[in-house]
Amino acid sequence: MADKIFSKKEWGAALRAAADSYGIYVPVKEGDFHNFELLKKETKPDFDFQNTRLSPKALIQPQSERMFVYSLDDSEEGAHILKEDPKDYSPRAVVGIRPCDALAFQLVNVNFDNPEYRDPWWAGRLESTTTVGLGCNEPCTTCFCTSTGGGPFSEKGLDVLLYDLGEKILARPLTQKGGKFLEKAKGGSPADESDSKAAEQLALSAAEKITSSVPTEHLKEKGVNELFDAPFWDDVAFSCINCGTCTYLCPTCWCFDIQDEVLGKEGDRLRNWDSCMFPLFTYHGSGHNPRDQKFQRVRQRFMHKLKYYVDKYNNGVACVGCGRCVQHCPVNIDIREVCELMNGYG
């Protein structure tokens, strides 16, 4: 599978051609931000962005999804029996996904698809999705992906990696899925040596622009109880307003809640994103809440990402350094500072 080169105009046409075979998701500008949307005739993809405000995790784990339907009408055959709501596993491609967000799918996958448990909906959607990443020429000052196992041109979790060379796009297929996508994205020509050299140079210079780093090397050796009882959690949590922004924007936060909604005699069982930052998240039916204090919820978020995940999966930290929570926390709580506190504690 060889690299292909497209003019920007050819690339736009190539995506339209690929849309005959895939549901294509592209970044689209909405006000001051970009988010992924399905490519339709009237859609204007815009690849001139640093990162989308929301990660594309909703494509694999929808924010709200109907799991099952059921009837409470006793006169109906099959009343009270859950029926799986049909799911869509048709081929999709998310084009312009940043390498950090593609790596996030891999980090989260160990939770949803492992030898003990397999979430068929998560796995089915991930399998049907082709990730066509766009390397970051100009990382944000809040990015720290090189400390968390990735990089602005990391190939992990990607099927194709795109290099924006100014007037041209170089497309590098990384997997069979990626090669198949590029066959459907008609046009372009084989890249020559000068294109490949320009791409390598771009990747090197982008990595040098990452100015932010976090130390993670001691997290694994720390005692869970010591970190849990560390004295800094009150200070870390002091200004938090438990808005949940950090968890909803985060590509590696996966928590959900399951609820039944009934209208008349028809019921839906839904799965919705939830957040450990909300008091209701752990509120028991008995009225007891094991995390009724703010510092406990904030501690949970950081302990999960930087200690429990590290210990359980031996797969690095559950953070890809995308910087979204740093940028958008309304009270400036910064995971880089918390990671430093945890890594250096004791």
* Residue ranges binding ligand SF4 (CB under 6 A): 240-246, 249-252, 277, 305, 319-325, 329-331, 333, 335
Q: In terms of CB distance, is 241 or 258 closer to ligand SF4?
A: 241
Q: In terms of CB distance, is 81 or 331 closer to ligand SF4?
A: 331
How many Å apart are CA 323 and CA 153, to the nearest integer? 16
Query: What separation in angstroms does the CA of 92 have from each of 12, 44, 82, 84?
Result: 17, 18, 28, 22
Closest separation between CB of residue 267 and ligand SF4, Å? Answer: 32
CB-based contacts of 292, cutoff 8 Å, min separation 6: 279
Closest separation between CB of residue 281 and ligand SF4, Å? Answer: 12
Q: In terms of CB distance, is 43 or 111 closer to ligand SF4?
A: 111
Q: In terms of CB distance, is 261 or 292 closer to ligand SF4?
A: 292
The strand ranges marked E within 20-63 are 23-30, 33-38
CB-based contacts of 182, cutoff 8 Å, min separation 6: 1, 4, 160, 171, 173, 188
Closest separation between CB of residue 305 and ligand SF4, Å? Answer: 6
How many Å apart are CA 300 and CA 333, to the nearest integer? 14
Query: Whose CA is closest to 172, among 215, 134, 227, 212?
Result: 134
Query: What separation in angstroms does the CA of 173 have from each of 23, 133, 138?
Result: 19, 10, 22
C-alpha neighbours within 13 Å on the C-beta side of residue 48: 5
How many Å apart are CA 70 and CA 77, to the nearest integer? 11
Closest separation between CB of residue 238 and ligand SF4, Å? Answer: 10
Length of the chain: 346
Report CA Rg, the chain.
22
Closest separation between CB of residue 241 and ligand SF4, Å? Answer: 5
Q: In terms of CB distance, is 182 or 325 closer to ligand SF4?
A: 325
Closest separation between CB of residue 176 and ligand SF4, Å? Answer: 28
Q: In terms of CB distance, is 72 or 241 closer to ligand SF4?
A: 241
Q: In terms of CB distance, is 73 or 234 closer to ligand SF4?
A: 234
Closest separation between CB of residue 143 and ligand SF4, Å? Answer: 8
